[in-house]
Amino acid sequence: MLPESDDFTSTAWHPQSWMHDLRSFIGEMAITQLCLLGSHNAASYGISKDLPFVADAPGFLLGDSVFASLSRFLFRGICASWAKCQWMSVRAQLDYGVRYLDLRVATNPEDASRLYTLHAQISVPLADVLEDVKAFLNDPLSADEFIVLDFQHLYLTDDSDGKGKFFGELDAFQIALYSSMCRSQRRWKFCGGPRPGVASSLWWAVERMSHHTPRRGFALNVWYLDG
């Protein structure tokens, strides 16, 4: 909890840089002690009724049966409206103060060359989301903010191709971000290393980007971030 004091209530802060602006109050808190503004299905803003249904869609909409085809025809517009949880781009959400992004990633049956975000239907490419995050962190006004990318669901092929594409896009994101932010020597830390401590230790840490995997299976989460 943040202190209820005149100093805190009178401190000027801005949505784009609120973590840095409030660093004197949150600096000694662990990341999991902070109340971060989160965005559910953060990248679903690109969904439209004409985009294909994918693995996490309701079961009756999937498959090649006549019933499934008819259901997709009848409910495509309704489903798109339900699946579209956000209307702003990821960059706009970050500028408005969001620091936790809930993401789902899958292969696109109509474009096998890259990965896409989704929520029942295909949305924008994962690369677009990562580009928005990179642009936000490269902006001098928000260069010291922390962002949690929580890949809640990955609908990838079990072979190395699906996983390779996923980590390949993250690697490209890391390299692009690192090349323009020379303060950090290594920005991608795997979960075998030390856990992040209080927020103040992360502002000047050498390893400021963390990738956390669970103990079983190929799925990503952030439960290791317990400070």
Contact of 3 with 196, CB cutoff 8 Å: no
Q: pTM of the prediction?
A: 0.77
Q: How far is 84 from 76, CA to CA, in rounded Å? A: 12
Q: How far is 88 from 196, CA to CA, in rounded Å? A: 30
pLDDT digits (tens, 9 = 90+) for 159-172: 557 777 887 787 77
Instruction: Identify the weakest region by mean pLDDT among 88-92, 144-148, 169-173, 218-222.
Output: 218-222
Count of CB atoms within 10 A of residue 188's CB?
Answer: 17
Q: How far is 11 from 71, CA to CA, in rounded Å? A: 54
- Which among 139, 135, 147, 118 has a CA at the least distance from the CA of 19? 147
Which positions ≥6 away from 164 have C-beta within 8 Å? none
Please, which pLDDT band fits residue 5 given cuts at 50, 70 and 90?
low
Instruction: Identify the weakest region by mean pLDDT among 4-18, 20-34, 64-78, 170-184.
Output: 170-184
Which whole number is the average pLDDT over 139-150?
89
Instruction: Identify the weakest region by mean pLDDT among 45-49, 106-110, 168-172.
Output: 168-172
Contact of 63 with 100, CB cutoff 8 Å: no
Please, which pLDDT band fits residue 79 given cuts at 50, 70 and 90?
very high
The most confident of the ranges 4-8, 134-138, 144-148 is 134-138
Contact of 212 with 227, CB cutoff 8 Å: no
Which whole number is the average pLDDT over 178-206?
49
Please, which pLDDT band fits residue 30 given cuts at 50, 70 and 90?
confident
Give the model's pLDDT for residue 160: 53
- Residue-range domain boundaries for the chain: 6-211
Q: How far is 95 from 18, CA to CA, in rounded Å? A: 10
Which whole number is the average pLDDT over 3-27?
78
Which whole number is the average pLDDT over 175-182?
56
Q: Strand 189-190 and strand 210-211: pairing?
A: parallel
Instruction: Identify the weakest region by mean pLDDT among 28-32, 74-78, 148-152.
Output: 28-32
Is a pLDDT exceeding 90 seen at residue 224? no
Amino acid at site 212: H
Please, which pLDDT band fits residue 203 given cuts at 50, 70 and 90?
low
Which whole number is the average pLDDT over 183-196?
45
Give the model's pLDDT for residue 124: 96
